[in-house]
Chains A and B, each alone.
With several copies, the nearest count.
Chain A
Amino acid sequence: MFKIIANRLVGPKIYEIIIKADKLIEQPQPGQFFNLKVNKLKSKDPFLRRPFSVFDFNPVSQQLTFVYRVVGRGTEILSSFKVGDSLDLLGPLGKGFTLPENKKSLHLIGGGIGIAPLYYLARVLADQQQLSIYLGAETKTELNFFQQKFSELKCSIKLTAMAEKLDFKGTALQLWLKNLPANKADFIYVCGPEKMLLAVEKEALARNIDGELSVEKRMGCGIGICLSCSCQSVESPLTRKRACIEGPVFKLGEVELDE
């Protein structure tokens, strides 16, 4: 069983939840996710689990952290869970980010709550690699928590918001492109809303920059049995890739981003 040891507001409708496993869990890779049961007792409503990417993991203390935004019924219930409550979760699930052997300059580009999985990735990479982090959101307050966390790591970080000027005013993509001439990328990692993924992918491919992105598909099971999360491969419409098994991390240009 998993016990909740923290569940606190860290931004506008954004919560950090920390869970402690009482038996050893498999070490998640950055980009992998867990599927959380968001109801108590035997209530059958809501019925499905909710997927959340690993925000952080400590193998010694067996502490697992997620950062989530309250957007609907499931996340609202999750936010009401109290310290000491136990949580039913499945994972780690899916395929995470590829960790580079000897890339020189890695760029992490995150938008909105899509920033969450990039923190664990950055933490795992920060010592060996040269990281530049580009984060965007609607408002500055959405970024405060992330800024604080990333700034503890060895990496360069630039922020942007739609509503106010930080290092920049605009999208994470625009921020990244603006800095690209000075700061060349060997490999990028992208996470955020599908629209953003699409736009970043386009610009990156046009510049021959290789990288990976993490998609958010509505999931039924998270374990590959229902085909809800099926993505069409760019090669052929009949080659399908399940976001929960072959993803959620895909290579740039690997699957159609159609939403």
Chain B
Amino acid sequence: MNKQQSATDLTEKIDLATVLKAKNGSHLKLKNPLITASGTCGNGHELAKFFDLNQLGAFTTKGITLQAQPGNKTPRIAESAAGIINSIGLENPGVDQFIAKKLPETAQYNLPILANISGYQADDFVNIAIKLAEQKEISGLEVNLSCPNIKGGGMIFGTDPENVFQITRKIKQVYPGYIIVKLTPNITDITTTALAAEEAGADAVALINTLSAMKIDIEKQKPLLANTYGGLSGPAIKPIAVKMVYQSYQKLTIPIIGLGGICSGSDVIEFLLAGATAVGLGSINLREPAAALRILAEIKDYLKKHQLNKLSSLIGAAHQ
């Protein structure tokens, strides 16, 4: 395995920085808009074999729960046209082990770390947030109110605006740092939950998590995933994600992290134009571990071609 060389672009004078800044003044500054999406980037060191992780804008951890979770049975992944369906089911060592073992590993990179947290009830989120509030290495929380793979939790929170509001507020009360609420697209109108998060004091929202989906093994004549249902991600869902970002941008005052199927610089530009302030790279990492580097180069090419020297000027530009 050869580690690709990171291209330093001091000479080019293109400003890729982006600031996730909310009305209330809180903000998170990234040197570029690329954030690894939760659950698709391991702990950092796995991807670091392929490229210099410090080239990223920020790193998001795999979902953390209060107690350790074994995750779902395998098969946990299936493929669909231009997409993948996963039902990992939040396998993780629990927040304490995360702090003790995983966090120090990820913290060695010079990157803002966002801790993606999940729970089975509102108190879980609060208890995790309390523990993580003490960790200086963490730049913010990404509250996953959208994982479709755990029963009794996740999905239910994310589809009821009232619930989104309550949980966000509770976390806000115990966590002084930056809070991103990650929302589910499995909903009639995502702006209702996005607005609820904003009203409860979220500093940003992340759109979107996976779409509820399944595949049937026609030879065995039963669901292919051990868990029956899974979440659809990858290029297949991009047009849905772009639409949700575009639509939410018209109603929200807090910034949006856009994700869903991003594979190229053009895809990133599309999300920025729709109104995203930063973006998440998810499934593409599974296919191409060093994708972030290629995507960064493609973004720069676009900016050069369009004679723009600030990436931030693209944000929301498709609305004019």
Contact = CB atoms under 8 A, between A and B. Distances in A.
A107 to B, nearest CB: 28
A225 interface: yes
A46 interface: yes
A44 B238 CA distance: 12
Contacts, number: 103
B70 A47 contact: no
A26 interface: yes
Interface string B208-244: 0000000000000000000000000011000000000
A67 interface: no
A177 interface: no
B248 interface: no
Contacts of A46: 79
Interface residues on A, range: 20 to 34
Nearest to B93: A238
A101 interface: no
A49 B82 contact: no
A220 B289 contact: no
A47 B74 contact: no
Contact of B71 (A47, A221, A227): A227
Given A44-B263, A47-B234, A47-B283, A226 B71 contact: no
* 6 closest residue pairs by CB, A with B: A225-B42, A228-B77, A221-B286, A224-B46, A44-B235, A45-B82
29 contacts: A44-B234, A45-B235, A47-B79, A47-B83, A47-B235, A47-B287, A48-B286, A48-B287, A90-B289, A91-B1, A218-B78, A219-B77, A221-B289, A223-B50, A224-B46, A225-B40, A227-B91, A228-B88, A229-B74, A229-B76, A230-B71, A230-B91, A237-B70, A238-B93, A240-B70, A240-B71, A258-B74, A259-B74, A259-B75
Interface of B: 1-2, 39-42, 46-47, 49-50, 62, 68-71, 73-79, 81-84, 86, 88, 91, 93, 234-235, 263, 283, 285-287, 289
